[in-house]
Structure 1
Amino acid sequence: MSLSVKEFSKAAWVEIYNRIIGAVVFLDDPSAECLHWDGGLFNLLSGGAVAVKSLSPFEYCKSEHKKALFITQATTTQLSTIKEIIQNSDFTHCLLASTVSLDVVYLELNKDKDVSDIISAGKAPMECAKMLESMLLQWINKVQSAVEVIHVPISTISLTSNVFVMPPYSPVYPLYEGKLIPTTPSVDLYTLSESERSQVRRLVSSLNSMLEGMNLKEEVYYMGTHSSILAGVLENSPVCLARRKLCSSPASLLLIDRTLDLCGCASPAPECLLDKVLGVLPRLPGHCTDVTVDMTPLCEASVTSVTDDLQLSPGCLYHANDKYCVQTFEQMINKTQKEVMFDLYNKLSKIDVQRSPGPKTLLKVTPQSMEKIINATKGNYDIIEQHLGLLQQALAVAATLRAPQHAQLELAASLQRQVAQNIAASREATSVGRQLSLLIKSRKERGLPLERLLALLVSVYSLAGDEVPFPRQHEEALVETLSVAIFEDHKSVLLSSAEGRVVSPEQCAAVAADVLSKLKDIAKMRRILNRYNTVLKPTETGAGHEYRGVLQQLVDDLVDSARPELVDLRHRNHGVKDLLRSGLNILTSKKSRKHPMDAPTVILFIIGGVSLDECRRLHRAVITSGVDANVIIGSTKIVTSVDAMRDVLRL
């Protein structure tokens, strides 16, 4: 029997809760985000922790605090931070919980040494624990002291029963020495830079821990160059090989490169309400999956800046200990905006102190009708305390739909539809190149920030692919227009300018040229595919074309009862032994080929991010097909259109 992702995550936190009595707990940002989705800070404080702090070299503890628990990814930088904290405190008992498998940490601690024999013999975790314990004892520097090093796989958060993300790996993206396309056709782990190799090993480590916790023995499939590297490490790592001998529940793990189709996540037209909220409201500090909610409508504090003013803590969307809030959060992914608004209003009306019209008498729920009830609770702290989670979610939705950025999203969405229709109808981009330049020039009159138009460019080039070439003179004009726009808006577009650097017109021209080069690379990404090399498909009516993403096409084929051949989905087999076991039948019989849907559990994992709109569409395709398999969608993170643009253009 296998566990769910949520049960696996909860089991990992139980390991922590069993060790926190009397300890000061230090967490890095990804671990703090995972804690938020398990119940938050009060889980630690009510479980016996004396204090909770961020993992920062500026933190230390009072002399009466003798026990510390560090929850960390155990990178070299974080270990240096732990050393600073210990040396500035007076601990006698230190526990280090590494969220990454100790064999990976051991490899990084010995990066200049040949430790292949120790790793292949399976001794790396034990040796790593000894090394880290020795380091902790040295930093404590007391005769009477105790240390312990353990591996606790804290890396996943479960958004719904079939969607999960891994916050520690939100920076992971399919890149090769910083490029979208590798310079060599034969790519393996050692083609990557040292930091990219470390990211791959760490991600594989956490996937392996998740599969072990869920008791899954997987067949690995992949689509995309970067995914092939991960599949190779997952298939051949000694730790993964040992785990597969012990796990008993069959599963299929499909690894997919995000860069094969950026149109789906870079599109500014999400139907999913939660995608809109994530695209409008600022992220909760240190988080990549939850947002900051302005709480001033409920309180009487005078706050000038929601994110920087410390008078008032920001609210958030997810409240793990409130089942009604968890239900609403899932509805924000799976249901329409109208349905979510009516549900929120219905819940708010039950706490309404002014007796506003009931949900049945309203023809339409608006942000204003929700805000009327919310504002009536201002200062009534008994009511606020009882319904705090619901009020925060309602505030987030109302603020999103009333924000200027929401109008920008709607405008960008209509522009994208126009451009997509032009490409689909004419199958050429002569008019589109001119249209994009004009949009950038008129952005201020239209009220569109440049970053949203850059996201539109990414979406259009990914949509067009190799099929629809852009005329050279139009691309030259586009670069010139972009160069001027970037110079004018560099403070909001170029992250480097936020550091106080002077930005010149020549630098902006170079950035614009680099943007075009990356856009051309984006258009080439599906060259390696055969069946899914186009995302412009004829409509069911036969009139015109529509966007059908690579992920959508793959899932449609997976659940198709006819079982079409999945030529683009490669399978990591077990080598010569499988060939010998199958005999000549592997060459003559199609029935001997394995299919991902043969397993009762199928995990579709997208490297580089996924939008919640895509998750909803994919889940709907699985549900309507009637297949028995449990299909789980996972990714390194949830992305909005602007997130997707920044990931690929690296501005």
Structure 2
Amino acid sequence: MMSGSPKEFGRACWNEVYNRIIGAVVFLDDNSAECLHWDGGLFNLLTGGAVAVQSLSPFECAKKEHKKAVFITQSTSTQLQTIREIIRNSDFVHCILISCMSLDVVYLELNEGKDVTDIVSAGKAFSEATKQLEGMLVEWMGKKQCSTEVIHVPIFTICPTNAVFLTPPYQKIYPSFNGNLIPESNSIDLYTLNSEERSQVRRLASGLNSMFESMNLKEDVFYMGVYSSLVAGVLENSPVCLARRKNCTNPVSLLIIDRTLDLCGITSHSMECLLDKVMSVLPRFPGHSNDVAVDMSPLCEANVITHPDDIQLAAGCLYHADDDACTQTFDYMINKSQKEVMFDLYNKLSKIDVQKSPGPKTLLKVTPLSVEKIVIASKGNYDIIGKHIGVLQQALGVVQTLKSPKRNQMELVMGLERQVHQSLAASRESTSVLHQNLLALITHVYSLTGTEVSFNKQHEDTLTEMLSVAIFEDHKTLLSNPDPGMATPEGCAEMAGKIMKKLKDVSQMRKILNKYTSVLKASESGVGYEYVGVLQQLVHEMTSCERPELSDLRHRHDGLKDILRTGFNMLTSKKSRSAKHPLDNPTVLLFVVGGVTAEECKQLHRSMITSGVDNALIIGSTKFVNPVEAMRDALDI
């Protein structure tokens, strides 16, 4: 069985940091700060001995009397330049660089364009990077008497539950190739990518490798999707990974899946899971990808105008690592129904209720108003607020979600989605649903139909025109980074054309699959059709007692010895019956490149449990994602 869990891995990493911060000014990049939030937050550093905590910014520096600095960073070239500026504007004599990225990858990036093959193949990249970075720190401090330390601590995970982990530093990684969803060539390797994309693949693979080393895991790598094949290739063949597998003993099946094979689940507004609803309605917590900003003005006197940008009042959030009751509620927001979460919140709030509202046992239904009433009764009572700040933030977040006008908009889109499913399944031909000018829904439709439906050209031309008009009228909110050209009809028409090309690519993503080409299945009730995602189909077949052949799930072989052992069988698409199966190992780790929803995590775990197999399932991904974010990732807008 596995040694430890992803949550224990993350905690062990932060303990390594806490051991080094006494008397230091700590500088963190945004991704490390997000990871810290899920381990306990700022006070972990301050109570652990740090004299100050600051963001990793070229505009920051330390006070004259502060002589020790700890930098917690992903060690990108930009961040190293920032560290240089901070050191030069401060008076440090002791600098510790904690690289969250493995130093063998940092070495490749520091020496981009140079031939370092011999050093890498000899396994010396890590030590050479350490020397190089220590030399840079000494040079920047410019003192004869100074000390430096460079270490690797793989801080890159957060754990919303014990069986789910996300990777904030890799939140922007998406299965694309030089901006395209589909690679231009069938023959693809790392050097088909541009240098930034190549670095992202290496960084993601290196992070997983560091986790496996800490947890003593030796993986069988399976993959589905072209991008995932690249990540699998690095894990299988890099010298660092090869060396680690020789020493690790606990077997695990690692399944790496491209999100782009199925965008339906994450662009759907039909959400059962309360956390997905909150993530879709409330803005992100500033600088974070996996928590939301809760408007705290109902509890205090501040007159907030533009939450969460108004700096008069700090935003609240959902996750509170140091409060067991809150972590339990967060787990419920993923794994239990909305009704159960509401009763849970009401029950916890009733213990601090200053107005003595009806007890939870006497209520037939807990509404947003009944929860809000208890919360607002605490307004201005800062003793109560201070003691119960976590549950109050969670309650406000849920209330603000369920009362938001956005919920009505989402209900409308949900109704449209249901009509789309039944219409497409019944006719299997183009319908007028493309005339709906809702970009997330359109992305959902194109991914849903895949290669099974060819849309009428006239309908698509009409849609392109509608998109062009929508971009012209609303480009500031529709596009994440609008450029000045969007103010002209010509610029909007060009953008609409690019979006249509991406949508057509989305519909082709499952073309490489054999069995999971369709995600629209007849409902088990016998009435209508329903969406059954690629991940859900994979887990269902993987856990089937009949052990059907998982032809779409490729397995990374060990190299030449497998070719000799299997002859030419491995070169054909049909696998031999002796092929590796994910359930051959006691733990299955399913990692989705490009984001998941909380609902997917819940359903996949439920499928695993109800199947009756004894294997444990861990789900990892780059981030939690909502429909609008998923659409923007896929269409790159």
Scaled to the shorter chain, the TM-score interval is over 0.9
The one of 433, 442, 449 equivalent to 1:435 is 433
Farther off after superposition, 520-529 or 544-553:
544-553
1:601 aligns with 2:587: yes
Aligned to 1:624: 610
Deviations along 1:54-96, one digit per CA (max 9) or x if unpaired, are: 0000001110000000000111100000000000011110000
SS of match in other structure, 1:74: coil
Farther off after superposition, 360-369 or 233-242:
360-369
1:297 aligns with 2:298: yes
Q: Distance in 2 between matches of 1:494 and 1:216?
A: 42
Give the Å deviation of 1:583: 8.4
Aligned to 1:563: 547
1:64 aligns with 2:50: no
Aligned to 2:426: 425
- Identical pairs, percent: 65
Which AA in structure 1 matches 2:589? I
Q: Distance in 2 between matches of 1:96 and 1:23?
A: 12
SS of match in other structure, 1:592: coil
Q: Distance in 2 between matches of 1:522 and 1:582?
A: 35
The one of 493, 502, 505 equivalent to 1:521 is 505
Q: Distance in 2 between matches of 1:11 and 1:352?
A: 38
The one of 493, 507, 511 equivalent to 1:509 is 493
Q: Distance in 2 between matches of 1:240 and 1:495?
A: 37
Q: Distance in 1 between matches of 2:289 and 2:620?
A: 15
Q: Distance in 2 between matches of 1:589 and 1:390?
A: 52
Aligned to 1:20: 21
Give the Å deviation of 1:581: 5.6
Give the Å deviation of 1:313: 1.3
Q: Distance in 2 between matches of 1:501 and 1:545?
A: 42
Q: Distance in 1 between matches of 2:567 and 2:464?
A: 57
Give the Å deviation of 1:582: 6.9
Q: Distance in 2 between matches of 1:545 and 1:349?
A: 43
Q: Distance in 1 between matches of 2:123 and 2:481?
A: 44
> TM-score if structure 2 supplies the norm length?
0.97
SS of match in other structure, 1:297: helix
Q: Distance in 1 between matches of 2:98 and 2:273?
A: 37
Aligned to 2:632: 646
1:335-346 maps to which residues of 2 (within 5 A)?
335-346=336-347
Q: Which runs of 5+ in 1 are unaligned?
A: 441-452
Give the Å deviation of 1:132: 0.4
Which AA in structure 1 matches 2:587? T
1:149-548 maps to which residues of 2 (within 5 A)?
149-429=150-430, 431=431, 434-437=432-435, 439-440=436-437, 453-497=438-482, 503-548=487-532
SS of match in other structure, 1:610: coil
Question: 2:72 touches 2:97 (CA, 8 Å); kept in 1?
Answer: yes
Residues matched between the structures, number? 634
Q: Distance in 2 between matches of 1:311 and 1:132?
A: 40
Q: Distance in 2 between matches of 1:102 and 1:301?
A: 46
SS of match in other structure, 1:318: coil
Q: Distance in 1 between matches of 2:270 and 2:527?
A: 22
Q: Distance in 2 between matches of 1:636 and 1:645?
A: 16
Which AA in structure 2 matches 1:649? L
Question: 1:2 touches 1:214 (CA, 8 Å); kept in 2?
Answer: yes
Give the Å deviation of 1:500: 6.3
Aligned to 1:444: none
Q: Distance in 2 between matches of 1:589 and 1:428?
A: 34
Q: Distance in 2 between matches of 1:540 and 1:301?
A: 52
Q: Distance in 1 between matches of 2:425 and 2:214?
A: 46
Which AA in structure 1 matches 2:447? S
Give the Å deviation of 1:358: 1.4
Give the Å deviation of 1:501: 6.3
Farther off after superposition, 218-227 or 352-361:
352-361
Which AA in structure 1 matches 2:433? Q
SS of match in other structure, 2:297: coil
Which AA in structure 1 matches 2:229? S
Q: Distance in 2 between matches of 1:557 and 1:153?
A: 34
Question: 2:434 touches 2:459 (CA, 8 Å); kept in 1?
Answer: no
Give the Å deviation of 1:184: 0.7
SS of match in other structure, 1:253: strand
Question: 1:585 touches 1:592 (CA, 8 Å); kept in 2?
Answer: no
Aligned to 1:123: 124
Deviations along 1:380-405, one digit per CA (max 9) or x if unpaired, are: 11111111100000000000000111
Give the Å deviation of 1:408: 1.2
**1:584 and 1:460, CA in 2 relative to 1: closer, same or farther beyond 3 A?**
closer
Question: 2:421 touches 2:529 (CA, 8 Å); kept in 1?
Answer: no
Q: Distance in 2 between matches of 1:501 and 1:10?
A: 47
Give the Å deviation of 1:590: 4.9
> TM-score if structure 1 supplies the norm length?
0.95
Question: 2:294 touches 2:315 (CA, 8 Å); kept in 1?
Answer: yes
Question: 1:263 touches 1:459 (CA, 8 Å); kept in 2?
Answer: yes
Q: Distance in 1 between matches of 2:369 and 2:484?
A: 40
Deviations along 1:604-623, one digit per CA (max 9) or x if unpaired, are: 00001111111111111011
